[in-house]
Amino acid sequence: MTVVERGIYRIELNRTLCKACGLCIAWCPQQVLSADAEAYPVVSRLAACVNCKACERHCPDFAIEVIPPQS
């Protein structure tokens, strides 16, 4: 059984590349991201992130990145 560690990942958002399409917010299974007043994503529950990279896979603009602790 794999133990999923939480609270060790970092999420980087690139505001210049992001177009606020909301795909990362829609695809996150842990509701880590939420939209701000301008519909841009903000990290609101970082401790819940399990590094599934669903946001990164579905980001059409290369604007989000989940960084594991070792790198």
Partner 1 sequence: MKLQNSFILREYLRPQVLPTTWCPGCGLGIILSAIAQAVHYRGLDKRDVAMVSGIGCTGRMSGYVDFNTLHTTHGRAPAFATGLKLARPDMSVLCVMGDGDSMSIGGNHLVHAMRRNIGLTAIVVNNAVYGLTGGQASPTTPVGGRTTTSRSGSIERPMNLETLARAAGAAFYARATVNHTAALVKLIERALAVPGFALVEVVSNCHVLYGRMNDLGDAAEMMQGMEGQTRRVNPVLLRRAALPHRLGTATSAQGHVSTEPVFDEDLRVQRGVIFEQPHRPDYARRYQTMLEGLKSKRAEAQT
Residue 31 φ/ψ region, left for φ over 0, alpha for ψ in the -120 to 50 degree band, beta for the rest: left
Q: Does the footprint of partner 1 cover residue 69 (CB under 8 A)?
A: no
**Residues 1 to 40: which contact partner 1 by CB under 8 A?**
12, 16-23, 26-27
Write the DSSP symbol of residue 64.
Answer: E
State the DSSP code for 47: G
- According to the binding rule CB under 8 A, does residue 50 interact with partner 1? no
Binding segment toward partner 1, per CB under 8 A, in 1-9, 30-38, 49-57 = 49-57
d(CA 41, CA 49): 15
Interface positions with partner 1 (CB under 8 A):
12, 16-23, 26-27, 53, 56-65, 67, 71
